[in-house]
């Protein structure tokens, strides 16, 4: 759809007079060009303004101003520029300081003296080569991570998955031993990297029914254990360090995930992770980010989220988040958040859900079809 046509349609949908339409069109063009048009999961030929016009039409005329004000005043969008900066800062802000700390401790010197010590710099390079970087999803941007650290991190240290087969583990170990000229070399650390965490239950949780640990951390540990059994050799040193880095995390995830891991030290040891994983975050999103019924400015839109909801979104996976429904998103997070490459399922479904709805035996029992503003690519079913 032509942008000018979409704007005219939008003006009619919102019933704006000429002056209001002029002001809003200027603002929308700016928002679209600077941020929202870059969203990767718009359908072919669709951009933000066209998507906004279609999205607003699912609401009654007297509800549209509430929906529109949510987009202009409450929505948070992390674009490719912001995400790339977080990826670019990862090594400098989180990996190198840990290498410096480890070498300074080994040599018993002050950390600020490391850069002036040739032996210390050699040890940093050696430790760095014995460190793996594994992406937990495509959002980890491991290709960009490699590009930003050419000459520091080799291709043989970076993999776009944390669940590797035994053959891949053997390849990684073989490359390490060749590069270090040490037939017995093992990895001393691993970084598990992902783009975003809102609850942390997908990464690590305790199953409420069985008491067993679940999540990506457990799958990583089991992958290592299977490879050790298949290859009949150790891949990591016994006291290796697991580092977990998310480019962005909510306040709830940062506190909740840390507590769950702290409380599960014995279970992790059984899985082969003897020291507690170190958790780091490129940016910590503010506690005020989630929508809240106690905030008068959020109440009207939350009522829309409750009214325009299709239970078809509920699956066995969504139940893991600890809520009975998905009206506020996975885990009841109620986030007004969009990432440039996908919209988290922790965000309000009214932003991303696309359903067919269903007719009921009476109008009040009908289920509305949900139209997405930022269409989500499902990772979990």
CA neighbours closer than 13 Å in the CB half-sphere of residue 69:
12
Residue with tokens 């520029």: 81
Structural domain ending residue among the three candidates 227, 260, 284:
284
Structure tokens at 363: 């109008």
Mean pLDDT of the chain: 93
Domain count, the chain: 2
- Tens of pLDDT, residues 67-107: 999 999 999 999 999 999 999 999 999 999 999 999 999 99
For residue 203, give both structure tokens. 């990464």
Q: Are residues 64 and 92 in the same domain?
A: no
pLDDT for residue 63 is more than 50: yes
Query: Are residues 176 and 88 part of one domain?
Result: yes
What pLDDT is recorded for position 190?
A: 98
- Specify whether 231 is located in the same domain as 351: no
pLDDT of the residue at 209: 86
pLDDT in tens, 171-202: 999 999 999 999 999 999 999 999 999 999 99
How does pLDDT run across 124-144, given as a tens digit for each residue?
999 999 999 999 999 999 999
Q: Is residue 166 part of a domain?
A: yes
Alpha helices in 76-214 (DSSP H): 80-90, 96-107, 118-129, 142-148, 166-180
Instruction: Answer yes or no: do 252 and 309 share one domain.
Output: no
Sign of CA dihedral 170, 215, 213, 315: negative
CA distance 342 to 362: 36
Q: Does 113 lie in the same domain as 67? A: no
Mean pLDDT of 269-287: 96
pLDDT surpasses 90 at 7: no
Q: What DSSP assignment string belongs to 210-226?
A: T--EESHHHHHHHHHHH
Same domain, 303 and 166: no
Instruction: Please give the pLDDT value at position 380.
Output: 47
41, 109: one domain: no
Task: Quick: pLDDT tens for 27-49.
Answer: 999 999 999 999 988 887 789 99
Express each pLDDT in 48-58 by its tens digit.
Answer: 999 999 999 99
Range of the domain at 246: 80-284
Query: At which of 254, 269, 284 does a domain end?
Result: 284
| pLDDT > 90? residue 2 | no
Q: What is the pLDDT of residue 363?
A: 59
């Amino acid at each position: 759809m032509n942008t000018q046509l979409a704007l005219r349609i939008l003006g009619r949908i919102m019933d704006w007079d000429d002056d209001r339409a002029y002001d809003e069109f200027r603002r929308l063009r700016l928002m679209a060009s600077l941020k929202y048009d870059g969203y990767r999961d718009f359908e072919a030929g669709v951009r933000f303004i066209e998507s906004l016009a279609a999205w607003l039409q699912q609401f009654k005329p007297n509800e549209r101003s509430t929906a529109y004000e949510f987009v202009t005043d409450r929505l948070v969008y992390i674009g490719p520029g912001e995400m790339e900066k977080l990826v670019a800062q990862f090594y400098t802000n989180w990996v190198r300081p840990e290498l410096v700390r480890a070498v300074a401790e080994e040599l018993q010197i002050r950390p600020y003296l490391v850069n002036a010590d040739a032996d210390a710099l050699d040890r940093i390079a050696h430790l760095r080569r014995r460190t793996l970087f594994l992406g937990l999803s495509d959002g980890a941007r491991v290709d960009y991570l490699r590009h930003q650290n050419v000459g520091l991190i080799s291709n043989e240290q970076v993999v776009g998955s944390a669940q590797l087969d035994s053959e891949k583990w053997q390849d990684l170990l073989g490359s390490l031993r060749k590069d270090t000229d040490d037939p017995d070399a093992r990895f001393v650390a691993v970084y598990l990297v992902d783009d975003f965490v809102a609850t942390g239950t997908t990464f690590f949780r305790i199953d409420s029914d069985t008491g067993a640990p679940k999540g990506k951390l457990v799958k990583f540990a089991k992958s290592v254990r299977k490879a050790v059994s298949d290859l009949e050799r150790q891949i990591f040193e016994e006291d290796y360090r697991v580092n977990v880095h998310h480019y962005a995390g909510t306040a709830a995830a940062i506190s909740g995930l840390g507590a769950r891991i702290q409380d599960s030290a014995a279970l992790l040891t059984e899985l082969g992770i003897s020291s507690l994983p170190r958790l780091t975050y490129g940016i910590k999103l503010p506690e005020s980010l989630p929508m809240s019924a106690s905030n008068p400015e959020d109440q009207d839109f939350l009522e829309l989220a409750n009214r325009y909801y299709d239970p078809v979104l509920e699956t066995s996976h969504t139940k893991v988040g600890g809520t009975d429904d998905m009206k506020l998103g996975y885990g009841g997070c109620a986030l007004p958040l969009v990432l440039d490459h996908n919209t988290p399922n922790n965000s309000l479904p009214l932003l991303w859900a696309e359903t067919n709805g269903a007719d009921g035996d009476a109008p009040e029992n009908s289920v509305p079809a949900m139209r997405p503003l930022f269409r989500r690519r499902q990772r979990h079913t």
